[in-house]
Structure 1
Amino acid sequence: MGQTTRVYLVDDNDGFRDSTAWLLQTAGFEVLAYASGPEFVAAYAGERHGEAQECLISDMRMPQMSGLQLQDELQRRGIALPLVFVTAHGDVPLAVEAMRKGASNFLEKPFGDQALIDAIRAALANARNQAGGGAQGGKLASLSPRERQVLDLVVASKPNKIIADILGISIKTVELHRSNMMNKLGVRSLPELMKVALGHG
């Protein structure tokens, strides 16, 4: 039996929180849902961790504590959780800032069920690879830090323009890093690249 995957869901919208928790439970995740950042932080600090893979999904705009403030608070406490933000269309610049600070991904509402499940799996795979796990550790270790950043953003389904914005480089430079990265990993297509990045290659 595989390791449990626990998803923490933080969103102040009751309807969204309930429907998303149900979706993720149906997909096989253990889900703990919270209406605010402070509520999640207090509960997380009181739990034991280590027996499950963990991922956090957080709304970007919430009363009491915004998604960015929650991200800052977790970093201040030394809590390193793969983090996926869900955001309204107007919050994309905030989400880009969150990714610069280390968030794994952001999804614009409304998004498809599979997009959320894929984002969680990619975030968990990235966290495992960064910890040195996964059969692809050797190949991935050959990437430069910048190529690694580009890879994570490609896996997060970000187009070249968004990757360029997040990393503060030109689209041409992104294309060059993508080309070098695919050569190093021995892949020729995006589906092959995703397999290697997610540890299935």
Structure 2
Amino acid sequence: MPDPRVYLVDDNDGFRDSTAWLLQTAGFETQAFASGAEFIAAYNGDRHGDVAECLVSDIRMPQMSGLQLQDELQRRGCALPLVFVTAHGDVPLAVEAMRKGASNFLEKPFSDDALIDAIRTAIASARNGAGNGAQGGRLASLSPRERQVLDLVVASKPNKIIADILGISIKTVELHRSNMMNKLGVRSLPELMKVALGHG
């Protein structure tokens, strides 16, 4: 089977070059682009035989942002698995991206392994199809309070604000978050977002 193909879209030349080298070293066929428009012009959306593909894109870019690129691909009916990277840690943007179907988001700087794992997970999930039935069962297992906490986490509220809204202590919020993540079988905020927004 041919190497998986990764399309890398980032307007930062240094990051793009170093990340392309990393991905090639990790065994991915890599094509790098300086903008979303450049990628759209080059990508025809056809499946290339049995080659697994993934798009890694910055969220914040001039002219066409990562979210606009995501919208354009969806408008074209392209279901390319997508991993976002951002230097801004902008959780509301990431929530919007994952609500629209992004596989993951990583905040710069991230480890080489984190990026490679995110790409492999995105490709595997796209091949297997999202198991929405199992995810629905996991959400149903949450207590009413855990569900409230989940909704506020997805709305980007920090623990202190969640505690104020629900009239409970920060320690209790942390306990609910821990129990909720255990029940949902997730270990990170991006994984939690995926399950909560229907892409887990």
Q: Could you report, residue by residue, the CA deviation over 1:88-112 in whole angstroms, capped at 9, with x for unpaired residues?
A: 1342321121011110000000111
Aligned to 1:152: none
Q: Which amino acid aligns with 2:154?
A: I
Of stretches 43-52 and 95-104 in structure 1, the one that deviates more from structure 2 is: 43-52
Q: Could you report, residue by residue, the CA deviation over 1:22-70 in whole angstroms, capped at 9, with x for unpaired residues?
A: 0000000000000000110111127653431000000011111000000
Of stretches 86-95 and 59-68 in structure 1, the one that deviates more from structure 2 is: 86-95
The CA distance in 2 between the partners of 1:89 and 1:41, in whole Å, is 24
Aligned to 2:82: 83
Aligned to 2:115: 116
The CA distance in 2 between the partners of 1:175 and 1:28, in whole Å, is 37
Q: Please report the TM-score for the alignment, with normalisation by the length of structure 1.
A: 0.69
Q: Please report the TM-score for the alignment, with normalisation by the length of structure 2.
A: 0.69
The CA distance in 1 between the partners of 2:154 and 2:64, in whole Å, is 23
State the number of aligned residues. 163
The CA distance in 2 between the partners of 1:175 and 1:3, in whole Å, is 41
Alpha-carbon spacing, 1:61–1:53, altered in 2? closer, same or farther (3 Å): same
State the shift of 1:141 in Å: 7.2
The CA distance in 2 between the partners of 1:50 and 1:106, in whole Å, is 27
1:39 lines up with 2:38 in the alignment: yes
State the shift of 1:71 in Å: 0.5
SS at match of 2:90: helix
- Structure 1 segments unaligned to the other structure (5+ residues): 132-139, 149-160, 183-188, 191-201
Q: Which amino acid aligns with 1:119?
A: A
Structure 1 or 2, whichever has the larger Rg, is 2
Contact 2:89–2:107, Cα closer than 8 Å, also in 1: no
- Structure 2 segments unaligned to the other structure (5+ residues): 140-148, 157-161, 163-172, 188-200
Contact 1:147–1:178, Cα closer than 8 Å, also in 2: no
Alpha-carbon spacing, 1:61–1:126, altered in 2? closer, same or farther (3 Å): same
The CA distance in 2 between the partners of 1:81 and 1:167, in whole Å, is 26
The CA distance in 2 between the partners of 1:9 and 1:20, in whole Å, is 8
